[in-house]
Amino acid sequence: MNKEVIQQLFPKKALITVAGTVGIGKTTFATHIANILGYHTSLEKVDDNPYLGKFYSDFKRWAFHLQIYFLAERFKAHKNIMDTPYGVVQDRSIYEDTGIFAQMHYEKGNMTKVDFNTYTELFNAMVLTPYFQPPDILIYLEGSLEKILEKIRTRGREIEKQTPIEYWKEMQERYNYWIKTFNHCPVIRINIDQYDLHHHPESIEPILKDIAQTMRQKDT
């Protein structure tokens, strides 16, 4: 793959956001295409999260705290991206927090109505305003539940491996519903079976061309 040829298809500054359920391979995908495009990455902070481990052991006690933490971190990351002069590939969008995770925890009783309303009002005030610039494109990664569970086991995070399969199944279903109504920016849906970054890195080239074409259509 000729990186220079691919890079010429993309603007110098743009925000490409990669979305998809836990374990789908967002970080690997985002890092790989950022390297090809000469973009920077904005990756989700997991290891420094003070609530994540507590959350997996007690959903009801920590769901609201976790969602507020993620909202603040993603908003700060988005603002930093908008202030930079270069292109960025982002791991997970801020829209997923309210559209999937907060909604799920509220419906399952892990967040009270008061907490959910407070969270939603914060999200709306921060994100659903003319001052918040959405991504130039959102890449939605999807795949079978079996493949997702395999990836979760492979990366070996104990708190995820101990989480019931029903949780991951429900999350995948919620993601599939969410993406059907997402309309904040152009979307490209990619099945993880379409590429193999480890054994066939060239398989990403047609996907990058599709992304570039969709971004150009957005600007016309």
| DSSP string computed for 132-151 | SPPPSEEEEEE--HHHHHHH
Are 167 and 22 in contact by the 8 Å Cβ rule? The answer is: no
| Catalytic center residues | 91
Alpha carbon distances (Å) from 204 to 37, 200, 207: 12, 8, 5
Q: Could you tell me which residues are beta bridge partners of residue 191? A: 142
Three-class SS state of 215: helix
Distance between CA atoms of residues 178 and 7, nearest Å: 31
Distance between CA atoms of residues 42 and 46, nearest Å: 12
Please give the DSSP secondary-structure letter assigned to residue 85: S
